[in-house]
Amino acid sequence: MRFSNIVSVTAVLASLASAVPTHRCGDQGACPKAHNVDNCYNPKQIALTFDDGPAGFEKDIMEALGDKKATFFLNGCNSQCIYDEENVKQIRALHAKGHTLGSHGWTHANFSTLSYDQTHQEFEKMEQAFWKILGLKPLYFRAPYGETGDNLMRVLAERGYKKNFLWSDNVGDADLCGVEYGKSVYENIAKTFPAPHMVLNHATYETTAKEILPYAICELEDAGYEIVAVDTCLGEYLIHAARTDVHRSHVVFLLVRLIGSQGEWPYDEHVVGEPQERDETWVC
């Protein structure tokens, strides 16, 4: 980080205890586009993703995962309020365990139907929650229902988001397809090894956490897969994206190539603070 950036971030932190420090790409001119990503790139890796939490089953999902990493796309006010004490505890535990956390919007809205201002509001509230709970600003997003649109892509770019993640496979839990169907999705994935996958699960179903996931982990590891977070499985994709994105500088390309195999940082490196104490603003 350049010295001037450190000074400006520190000044902002001192003056705004609870607000997210503003760092928008528009301040420096044109905004790089966010990429839509629907799969991993490394054929021996698989990314398991869990949407719609916090929902009360994060602890069970963490237990099943052990030391393997996954990705959680969080809502602010969906099945539960993100600021509930137990949810704050679980979100901090997920982060401490090294899982990747991204935004899924504040209300789980269909972003293809929202105005430009409504879209910014959804992001603003989630960024406030990430800032208060973790002292971070997410740069990964997943559009609810996989629905995108011009307003969403514009706001993603303006707020500096790197990627909108979709998926390659869906266990069908949100469609109430049942445990046997969910297990069969993973059985079929295991047969494709080595081929990359990015799998949609939901953190809102006990059967996903306690029945489908433990079964899936055995199947996938027996097949030879490494279970990783979405930022890890994009190594070659990152290099490809850096080569084809005219907004990226040569320096960024070299940096991406160096870190590519280990993944990228899914949060804004200019906006890093300490988790905060609960106050009257922690409400949904």
Q: 143 has which bridge partners?
A: none
CB of 48 to Zn ion, least distance (A): 15
Q: Report the chain's C-alpha Rg in angstroms.
A: 18
Tell the smallest beta-carbon distance from residue 21 to Zn ion (Å): 28
Residue 218 Cβ, how far from Zn ion at the closest point, in Å? 26
DSSP state for residue 161 in the 8-state scheme: -
Neighbouring-strand partners of residue 164: 36, 141
Of residues 190 and 209, the one with the C-beta less far from Zn ion: 209
The reply on whether position 122 binds Zn ion by CB under 5 A is no
Name every residue whose Cβ is closer than 8 Å to that of residue 6 and which is 6 or more positions away in sequence: none
Does residue 144 belong to the site contacting Zn ion (CB under 5 A)?
A: yes
Nearest to Zn ion of 45, 201 (CB atom) = 201
Place of tokens 């679980």: 90
Q: How far is the CB of 9 from Zn ion (least distance, A)?
A: 32
Please give the residue whose beta carbon sits closest to Zn ion in the complex: 51
Site for Zn ion contains 173 (CB under 5 A)? no
278: three-class secondary structure by DSSP:
coil
Stretch that binds Zn ion, among 48-56, 225-233, 237-245, 276-284 (CB under 5 A): 48-56
Polymer length in residues for the chain: 284
DSSP one-letter code for 81: B
Backbone angles phi, psi at 108, to 5 degrees: 60, 40
Q: How far apart are CA 78 and CA 72, in angstroms?
A: 14
Q: Which helix (H) or strand (E) holds 35?
A: strand 35-37
Q: Which stretch binds Zn ion (CB under 5 A): 2-10, 122-130, 142-150, 193-201?
A: 142-150
Judged by CB under 5 A, the residue of 37, 47, 49, 52 near Zn ion is: 52
Judging by DSSP bridges, how do beta strands 267-272 and 140-141 pair with one another? unpaired
Give me the 56-95 binding string for Zn ion, x by CB under 5 A, dash otherwise: ----------------------------------------
| For Zn ion, the closer CB: 52 or 264 | 52
Binding-site ranges for Zn ion (CB under 5 A): 51-52, 144
